Amino acid sequence: MIERAPIIYKAYSALWRIFDWLYPPTCLGCGEPLARWCGACQMTTKVVPHTICIRCGQLLAKRGICLRCQENPPSYVALRAWAMYKKPLREVIHRLKYRRDISLAEILARHMVLKHVTLDWEFDVVVPVPQGIVRMRERGYNQAALIAWPFALLTGRPYVPKALVKVRETPSQVDLAVQERWENVKQAFAAEGKMVEGKNVLVIDDVTTTGATMEACASALVQAGARAVYGLTAARADFTDGRSRL
C-alpha cells in the first residue's frame, strides 16, 4: 500500500528526507545518526496485544467486551491503537506534541495504515480529533491532523478535517483522573452533518487513554447523522491504575 502511495504523499515524504539531509537528526531511541526514529527502534515498539475489549480496545485479561462497554456501549463501533504508550513511542509522541518534531507524524501514520489493514473496517472519510482554538494558538498545529492527513492519502480516502469542531475549550486531560476525563470532554465536540451524514467515519488521534475523547467525538458524529464511527490512534496508554501516566 505504501509502495503504491499517491504522488502527493511521496512528495511530502521526500520533503522530510531533504530536510533531514540539510539538518541531520539523531534517533530519539538510540542516538543513531541520520534517522529521527530508526528502523530498529521502531521494531522494538510494543504493539497492543490481542487481549483487549473488542469495542473500546482497553487491555483485558482475555479478549472480550469490558464491563463499561457492556453497561454503556460506546457511540463508536470500535476503537483500536497501533502500540502501547511506552518508550520509545511515548518519546515519539512527546516530541511530536511538545517539541515540534512534526515529521514523526508521518512515521506514525505509516504504522497505523499497516494496523488498519488487519482491521475489517469500511470507512468513507478520515477525520482528525480537533484541537481547541487556545491550544492551536499555543502549538500552531494539531498533531492528530498531522497523522490523519498522510493516513488518508495512503488509504485513498477523503481527508475531512472540518467534519469535527471543538465547541468548548477543555483543560488538558493529563492530570485528570478517569471520571474527571469523561466529564471534561463531554459535549466538547460538534460534527458537521453535511460532511458525515450517512457515512462511515474513521477518527484519528495520537493517544487513547480512557477513550473519553473518542467517545465524545463519536457521539457528536452519530448525532450529526454518521452511519458508523471507528477510532484509531497511534498509542494506547495502560490506564488500569486509574490515573494517567501521560
Q: Which residues bind Zn ion (CB under 5 A)?
A: 27, 29-30, 32, 38, 41, 53, 55-56, 66, 69
Minimum CB separation from Zn ion for residue 159, in Å?
28
Residue 52 or 195: the one with the smaller Cβ distance to Zn ion is 52
Nearest CB to Zn ion, comparing residues 55 and 181: 55
Q: What is the nearest approach in angstroms of Zn ion to the Cβ of residue 55?
A: 5
Q: How many helices (H) and strands (E) does the chain have?
A: 10, 6
The angle, 0 to 180 degrees and rounded to 10, between the axes of the packed helices 212-223 and 178-185 is: 30
Between residues 67 and 133, which has the closer beta carbon with respect to Zn ion? 67
What gap in Å lies between CA 140 and CA 121, rounded to an integer? Answer: 32
Closest to Zn ion by CB, 55 vs 199, is 55
Residues in a beta bridge with 208:
236
Least distance from Zn ion to the Cβ atom of residue 74, Å: 7
Question: How far apart are CB 158 and Zn ion at their closest, in Å?
Answer: 29
Buried b (16+ CB within 10 A) or exposed e, 171-194: eebeebeeeebbebbeebbbbbee
| 3-class SS shares of the chain: helix, strand, coil, % to 5 | 40, 20, 45
Residue 171: which residues within 8 A CB-CB, separation 6 or more?
184
Of 32 and 124, the one with the shorter C-beta distance to Zn ion is 32
Span between the terminal Cα atoms of the chain, in Å: 32
Please compute, for residue 196, the number of CA atoms within 13 A of its CA located in the half-sphere on the CB side.
30
In the complex, the smallest distance separating the C-beta of residue 242 from Zn ion, rounded to whole angstroms, is 16
